[in-house]
């Protein structure tokens, strides 16, 4: 809760930054160093001892290994401190992390009803940093397992880390809270938080772009593993929009599945839309989208397609390979977000900018090599980072 102190008073919670499937992340003050940090509190059920690497939580152990192999790289989130707290729902792993800005996803998707995209130069810069991060992980023998635009954050500029509480509330707004009530009217009990807290509105960062760097940091390693020692009972767990066909059909998520996920992210960064999207959130919708884009899947998968695929037309052409559908699917103009009808966000593409034809050709060439059914037919990250699209 806002105001809570953890680790014998060292960390005081002052705002909420966001939440995911496994955790809630708070903005906290490290009262020893007097700097702002992010405090990631894992769900009790996500803190169980089995999800560890050599006895350390996976989300801590993997970036630690990456940092010791690449001490000068700042592409991977560090972990300053970690400890466990006991609450009414059990033990919670707590990670103390550098405070970063909003995710790439939040600029692409959180902007009211409109779709926005990053300007070309910034989009390519962000995509290139993501590609280099993934290349380095693969080179060192790690699978990321969950590379999405939600798991990549813009870095904040350094002076922000020294903000006072008053500056935090001035720039980011006061935390909005609401009391939690049970529908029956009975008291909620100790397992339920006393109040709900709304996370910081990430659009604030984009309205004041001077708060952000163009550099990014990859934050989530909860699904990552070392190929040399894959975890027992590994269950792939990335968002469905980024899930590769071999993961859907065979529960396999190796380096090639990372390449697929990065291809999906690059498309999204440059267009403002998911490459494979869904409305109701079921896997049949995503597989239908994949079929419509790549055509009929390999026989073994097609035969096990089940009831949900019968409406799909397996003879539809492979549109990415033909390089025609990206334009039809909105690779050109996404409308710019205009707050209160007045101020275009400074880091979004201006309205009516069409993607250069040369860029479309290069982007299609890159994506058609990354988004293929057979994992072994996808290009490797070593080839991806050399692709001319990144350096246009
Ligand atoms: N270091 C950080 N600085 C600022 N905000 C952060 C930081 N880490 C996480 N967040 C915020 O919290 C959100 C959830 O974080 P994260 O993705 O690590 O959680 P998760 O529970 O592991 O999520 P997922 O469901 O993607 O696995 C992020 O999207 C971001 O908004």
Output the pLDDT for position 306: 52
Average pLDDT value for residue range 60-69: 94
Q: Is residue 96 in contact with ligand 1, taking CB distance under 6 Å?
A: no
Q: Is the CB of 25 under 6 A from ligand 1?
A: yes
Cβ of 220 closer than 6 Å to ligand 1, yes or no, is yes
Query: Average pLDDT, whole number, for the chain?
Result: 83
Highest mean predicted confidence (pLDDT) among 65-74, 269-278, 323-332 = 65-74
Ligand 1 probe mutation, 21, 23, 25, 110, most atoms within 8 A of CB = 25
Q: Quick: pLDDT tens for 153-167.
A: 999 888 999 999 999
Average pLDDT for 26-37: 97
119, pLDDT greater than 80: no
Q: Is the CB of 150 under 6 A from ligand 1?
A: yes
CA of 161 to the centre of ligand 1 (A): 18
Is 151 close to ligand 1, i.e. is its CB under 6 Å away? yes
Condensed to tens digits (0 to 9), the pLDDT of residues 167-177 reads 999 989 999 99
- Cα(25) to ligand 1 centroid in Å equals 6
* pLDDT value of position 260: 97
| pLDDT tens-digit readout, 227-249 | 998 888 888 888 999 999 999 99
**pLDDT score of 113:** 44
The reply to whether 40 sits in an annotated binding site is yes
CA distance 229 to 301: 28
**Domain 5-391 of CATH type 2.40.30.130:** no
pLDDT of residue 301: 86
Cα(100) to ligand 1 centroid in Å equals 10
Q: Is the pLDDT of residue 361 over 90?
A: no
- Residue among 23, 104, 216 whose CB has most ligand 1 atoms within 8 A, to mutate: 23
Q: Give distance in angstroms: CA of 332 to centre of ligand 1.
A: 30
As a three-state string, the secondary structure of the chain is CCCCEECCCCEEEEEEEEECCCEEEEEEEECCCCEEEEEEEECHHHCCCCCEECCEEHHHHHHHHHHHHCCCCCCECCCCEEEEEEECCEEEEEEEEECCCCEHHHHHHCCCCCCCCCCHHHHHHHHHHHHHHHHHHHHCCEECCCCCHHHEEEEECHHHHHCCHHHHHHHHCCCEEEECCCCCCCCCCCCCCCEEEECCCCHHHHHCHHHEEEEEEECCCCCCEECCCCCCCCCCCCCHHHCCHHHHHHCCCCHHHHHHHHHHHHHHHHHCCCCCCCCCCCHHHHHHHHHHHHCCCCHHHHHCCCHHHCCCCCCCCCHHHHCCHHHHHHHCCCCCCEECCCEECCCCCCCCCCCCHHHHHHHHHHHHHHCCCCHHHCCCHHHHCCCHHHHC
**Ligand 1 centroid to 299 CA: how many Å?**
38
Between 172 and 282, the more confident residue is: 172
Whole-number pLDDT of residue 355: 74
Q: What is the pLDDT of residues 182-194, one digit of tens each?
A: 999 998 989 998 8
pLDDT for residue 48: 58
pLDDT of residue 115: 52
The model's confidence at residue 196, banded by pLDDT at 50, 70 and 90, is very high
Q: What is the pLDDT of residues 88-100, one digit of tens each?
A: 999 998 999 999 9
Per-residue pLDDT, 74: 92
Question: Atom 30 in ligand 1: which residue has the minimum CA distance?
Answer: 18
Q: Is the CB of 271 under 6 A from ligand 1?
A: no
pLDDT score for 30: 98
**Lowest-confidence region among 138-142, 246-250, 264-268, 329-333:** 329-333
pLDDT at 105: 87
CB neighbourhood size of 65 (10 A): 21
pTM, two decimals, is 0.86
Contact 26, 38 (CB under 8 A): yes
At residue 49, the pLDDT reads 54
Is 219 a pocket residue for ligand 1 (Cβ < 6 Å)?
Answer: yes
pLDDT of res. 117:
65
Structure confidence at residue 315 (pLDDT): 47
At 340 the pLDDT is 36
- Model confidence at 36: pLDDT above 60: yes
Task: Return the pLDDT at 209.
Answer: 59
The residue whose two tokens read 């989530």 is 220
Distance 277 CA to ligand 1 centre (A): 22
What's the CA-to-centroid distance between 26 and ligand 1, angstroms? 10
């Amino acid at each position: 809760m806002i105001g809570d102190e953890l680790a014998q008073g060292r960390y005081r919670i002052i705002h909420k930054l966001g939440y995911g499937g496994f955790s809630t992340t708070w903005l906290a003050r490290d009262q020893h160093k007097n700097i702002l940090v992010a405090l990631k509190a894992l769900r009790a059920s996500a803190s169980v001892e089995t999800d560890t690497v050599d006895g350390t939580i996976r989300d801590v152990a993997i970036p630690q290994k990456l940092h010791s192999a690449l001490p000068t790289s700042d592409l991977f989130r560090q972990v300053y401190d970690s400890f466990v707290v006991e609450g009414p729902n059990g033990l919670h792993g707590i990670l103390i992390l550098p405070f970063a800005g909003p995710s790439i996803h939040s600029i692409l998707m959180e902007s009211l009803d409109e779709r926005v995209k990053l300007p070309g130069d910034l989009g390519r810069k962000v995509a290139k940093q993501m590609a280099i991060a993934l290349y380095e992980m693969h080179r060192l023998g790690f699978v990321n397992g969950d590379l999405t635009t939600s798991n990549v954050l813009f870095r904040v500029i350094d002076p922000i880390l020294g903000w006072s509480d008053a500056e935090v509330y001035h720039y980011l707004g006061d935390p909005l809270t609401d009391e939690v009530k049970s529908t029956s009217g009975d008291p909620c009990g100790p397992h339920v938080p006393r109040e709900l807290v709304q996370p910081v509105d990430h659009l604030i960062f984009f309205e004041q772009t001077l708060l952000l760097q163009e550099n990014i940091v990859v934050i989530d390693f909860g699904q990552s593993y070392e190929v040399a020692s894959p975890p027992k009972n590994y269950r792939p767990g990335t968002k469905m929009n980024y899930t590769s066909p071999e993961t859907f059909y065979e529960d396999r998520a190796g380096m090639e599945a990372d390449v697929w996920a990065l291809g999906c992210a690059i498309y999204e960064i440059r267009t403002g839309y998911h490459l494979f999207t869904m409305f109701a959130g079921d896997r049949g919708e995503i597989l239908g989208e994949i079929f419509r884009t790549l055509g009929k899947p390999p026989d073994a998968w097609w035969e096990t397609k089940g009831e949900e695929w019968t409406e799909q037309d397996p003879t539809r052409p492979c549109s990415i390979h033909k390089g025609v559908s990206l334009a039809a699917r909105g690779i050109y103009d996404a409308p710019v977000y205009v707050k209160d009808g007045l101020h275009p966000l400074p880091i979004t593409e201006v309205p009516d900018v069409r993607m250069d034809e040369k860029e479309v050709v290069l982007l299609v060439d890159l994506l058609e090599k990354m988004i293929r059914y057979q994992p072994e037919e996808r290009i490797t990250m070593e080839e991806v980072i050399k692709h001319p699209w990144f350096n246009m």
